[in-house]
Amino acid sequence: MLIHECRSCSLAELWFEADDSTIFLNLSRVATEEELEKDHLLESVGKT
């Protein structure tokens, strides 16, 4: 297993899923307060 850690991914959850012969990389990132101020479509701090 290869694990990659970097500062830009510190607020993200990453996981793999497999469906027959296809592998999916899922990425879910939480919003910061600054991002919420810039993007009204995000709901609240910590929401994905």
Model confidence band, residue 46 (pLDDT cutoffs 50, 70, 90):
low
| Whole-number Å distance between alpha carbons of 33 and 44 | 8
Global pTM reads 0.46
| Tokens, residue 17 | 């899923």
Residue ranges per structural domain of the chain: 9-38
pLDDT, residue 12, reads 77
With CA atoms as reference, report the closest residue to 29 among 13, 17, 43, 6: 13
For the beta carbon of residue 31, count every other beta carbon within 10 angstroms.
19
Residue in the structure block whose two tokens are 């709901």: 43
Rounded mean pLDDT of 25-45? 77
